[in-house]
Amino acid sequence: MKITNGKDVFEVTRGAFDNIYRKQGFVPFVDEAEETSEPGDDQPGMPDDEAFIADLKEKPIAQWTSEELKRYADVKGITAKANQLRKVIQKEIEDEELEDEELVTND
């Protein structure tokens, strides 16, 4: 996603924006000439949940906030106790990656 402090424009992940740049006064940058999606959708053509997951997977799960873990679980339909959520999500991601590798090798 693109962000600005009113002077400079940077491209960062949504997680970096939420955890770092928002606190420093940055806001999402909207270039009206390029705007092709709904506000808050930083990946045109992708629903908000899919864009959120794509951005989130750019950083290690150990750096995910509690809110990010909860939203990921909600989007993916994962139910687990709060203290086990990170482990359950990690296992789910590993299983997805394993399935993707099997699909590639079977083609």
Position 104 confidence tier, pLDDT thresholds 50, 70, 90: confident
- What are the pLDDT digits (tens) for 50-98? 888 888 888 888 888 888 898 898 888 888 888 899 999 999 888 888 8
Tell me how far CA of residue 24 lies from CA of 9, 21, 41, 48, in angstroms.
14, 5, 21, 24
Q: What is the pTM of this model?
A: 0.53
Per-residue buried b or exposed e for 52-62, using 16+ beta carbons within 10 Å of the residue's own CB: bbebbeeeeee
pLDDT above 60 (res 106): yes
10-56 pLDDT, tens per residue?
889 888 888 888 888 888 887 765 545 454 444 454 558 888 888 88
The pLDDT value given to residue 41: 47
pLDDT of the residue at 86 = 92
- Residue 10 sits at φ, ψ, to 5 deg, of -130, 155
- Give residue 99's pLDDT: 83
Domain borders along the chain are 1-46, 60-107
